[in-house]
Amino acid sequence: MLVTELPPYRVRDMPSASGATLGLMRDLISRAVTAVNASSGLIINTFDALETDELASLRRGLAVPVFDIGPLHVHSPAASSSLLRQDRGCLDWLDARGPASVLYVSFGSLASMSAADLVETAWGIANSGRPFLWVLRPGLVRGAPPSQPPPLPDGFHAETRGRGTVVSWAPQEEVLAHPAVGAFWTHCGWNSTLEGVCAGVPMLCRPCFGDQMGNARYVDHVWRTGLALHGELERGKVEAAISTMMGAGGPGTALRGRARELCRRAAECMAKAGSSDLNVDKLVNHIMSLTARRCQ
């Protein structure tokens, strides 16, 4: 069911809450809206070509200036705020793989899954026959020991030996930029979504909570640069989605083409005199004007 006030969202794409949590979420959103309206401006980590209509709607509805200066991760060298140690050896592993042949799988630093979903994910990846780089961080599986990566199902390593590698954490921006990576299975956190967009790779979306469902909706339905996996995971569904996204011809070719085009448009926005570049200058001038007024 579509949310008529917020297209293209469906009801299931909206953050959910109930009981006491519902009140907390309502208060959080109310405070955020109040803070924006009381501010001197709104800085957003996005870019015009990605959300043209949404940014125009924001500017119509707000009395403060809006500065879309993203994607912010492009402004500075890749760095990780995670306490987990990056396994940079995976980059050497990628060097030995063919162009656009590898599925990169990472569900971020906070998202979690059930043990049953891990099993279906593992066998879906194995049965796809595709090379893969999978980030299995400690704490990913609910109920498993939080200090170590979750165990994979019996037989998985034997089935995929020589075809895939599993690490606890990876230098994601560098991985996504590697020519061997052909698709990105993500939880659709906003940072990861933007990194996937800027890398020009199609995304397989498995959102977990918060804004991730809405982000996946945009990837799947609006930008059409990926596919969304909803509901209970089943290995056959996982295998089919991977095959569709990475296969030669058919829908996969169209997904990859649109992903590359969106990557090109992101680069244009970040380039000299692009929309994000110009908005950085506007933001600096705006801050300077505020400072000058306060010093008068």
pLDDT, tens only, 131-145: 999 999 999 999 888
What pLDDT sits at residue 248?
Answer: 87
Give 113's contacts (C-beta < 8 A, 6+ positions apart): 107, 121, 140, 141, 142, 208
Beta bridge partners of 184: 104, 203
Q: Which residues is 183 bridged to in the sheet?
A: 103
Residue 177 has pLDDT above 70, yes or no: yes
89-267: in CATH 3.90.1010.10 = no
Q: Which residue type does 233 have?
A: L
Q: Is 258 buried (19+), middle (13-18) or exposed (0-12) by CB count in 10 A? A: middle
pTM above threshold 0.85:
yes
Mean pLDDT, residues 38-59 taken together: 97
- The set of long-range contacts for 7-11, using a CB threshold of 8 Å and a minimum separation of 24, is 8/217, 8/218, 8/221, 8/222, 9/214, 9/217, 10/217
Q: How confident is the model at residue 85 (pLDDT cuts 50, 70, 90)?
A: confident
Predicted pLDDT at 79: 54
Cα(104)–Cα(149) distance, integer angstroms: 17
User: For 228-246, what is the mean pLDDT?
Assistant: 95
Q: Tens digit of pLDDT for each residue in 74-84?
A: 887 555 556 67
Residue 23 has pLDDT above 90, yes or no: no
Paired sense of beta strands 132-135 and 42-44, if any: unpaired
Q: Where are the domains of the chain?
A: 89-267
CA angle 145, 149, 151 (to 5 degrees): 85
Quote the CA–CA distance of 193 and 79 in Å, as a whole number.
Answer: 16
Strand partners of residue 102: 181
Q: Above pLDDT 90, what percent of the chain?
A: 79
What's the Cα-to-Cα distance from 50 to each of 23, 239, 252, rounded to whole Å? 32, 29, 21
Count other C-beta atoms under 10 Å from residue 116's C-beta.
11
Stretch 271-289: mean pLDDT: 97
Q: Give residue 173's pLDDT band: very low, low, confident or very high (50, 70, 90).
A: very high
